[in-house]
Copies of this chain bind each other. A is one copy, B any other.
Amino acid sequence: MYFEGSEKKLTLTINHHNISLLNDFDDNFWQQLVERCQAKILSKITNQQCTAYLLSESSLFIWDDHFVLITCGRTNLVSAINFFIKAVKPSDINQLIFQRKNEYFSYAQPSNFFEDIKQLQQNFNGCAARFGALDSHHNYLYHLTKTSNQNLVNSSYEFLAYQISPETSEFLCQPNLTVDQIREFLQLSTILQGFQVDDFLFSPFGYSLNAINGEKYLTIHITPQQNSSYVSVESNLNLLSITPHFLSLLQPASFDLIAFNQAEFSELNNHYIPKNYLIKEQVESTLCSNELVNFANYIQPMATKIAPYTIDI
């Protein structure tokens, strides 16, 4: 019936003078790490700078000095961190950012954010904050209380879209849909030129895509069902400039943008976001690791009355 598309996300940076994530760990290690979350590796693409695994619940991207693990559904991401620190001691971890989006079926989750960070504090010294109001879209974030200059030039972005248009939802939920039809619908050739692409169509619904090009990555995860639709796009490409592309395709009623280390966040949004969307909330913080985090929630006010959503009993 419903699928919890809301993601948990880990960005973990190591001291790469001592360790190489790409060379020192094999597929088997990452498979075990992913299994700890209650997910599985479905496929892999790789280049000299980055390896990308497509998962049964989202994605894992690995570079030499850091990795990004994204999981949705009923996963327990903290278990993967506990597995990782059996191989790499906490002192070799330069930074760890653990995010958790607010969920809509949190009663079905194996843990909540407060339990997660309590577990993390057994091995780390960190602090936590909530970006966004409790009664609105929000993102919980935990990070280590230590300064690292290593990552400051690395920007990354999240575009999280809710309530896509009924037509798009219907198109993406049709039986016998193919991966090629979705790629064509997303017009990926225009934004992913030169990228190696790996994607998967879930049954009965759902689509995931990983794309890499050198150290650049982009990942898309689609929960298309009308009345609980959710599309996330995450990348180290400047997503703010690509957001209009996804807005025109998906026409969501609401979306969030999150950026790490993008000093021009507001200016770029003012420039790129169509004026039919209003900013409902914006939150900014510089973490004690010096990373700049921006969060903005946009909405499209509803002009007309609608009928309620009928629930099957």
Contact = CB atoms under 8 A, between A and B. Distances in A.
A306 interface: yes
Interface string A73-111: 000000000000000000000000000000011110100
Contact of A278 (B117, B130, B131, B278): B278
B104 A266 contact: no
Interface in A101-138: 104-107, 109, 112, 114, 117-118, 121, 126-131, 133-137
A282 interface: yes
Nearest to A286: B307
Contacts of A285: 307-308
A275 to B, nearest CB: 13
B104 A107 contact: no
B104 A134 contact: yes
A279 B306 CA distance: 13
A302 B281 CA distance: 5
Nearest to A304: B282
Given A280-B299, A301-B280, A308 B109 contact: no
A153 interface: no
A107 B304 CA distance: 33
Nearest to A137: B135
Interface in A133-181: 133-137, 140-141, 162-163
Pick the most buried of A162, A305, A310: most chain B CB atoms within 10 A of its CB.
Answer: A305
Contact-residue bracket for chain A: 35 or more
Contact of A302 (B105, B134, B227, B279): B279
Contacts of A284: 305-307
B299 A104 contact: no
Contacts of A126: 313
Interface string A258-279: 0000000010000000000011
Contacts of A308: 129-131, 141, 283, 285, 293, 295
A162 B140 contact: no
A162 B280 CA distance: 14
Given A129-B311, A133-B253, A136-B136, 17 more contacts: A104-B135, A117-B311, A128-B311, A128-B313, A133-B254, A135-B137, A140-B311, A141-B308, A278-B278, A278-B301, A279-B301, A279-B302, A280-B301, A281-B302, A281-B306, A283-B306, A299-B299
24 contacts: A104-B134, A107-B109, A107-B112, A117-B313, A118-B313, A121-B313, A128-B311, A129-B308, A129-B311, A130-B311, A133-B254, A135-B137, A135-B163, A135-B230, A135-B254, A136-B136, A140-B311, A141-B308, A266-B305, A279-B302, A280-B299, A283-B308, A285-B308, A293-B308
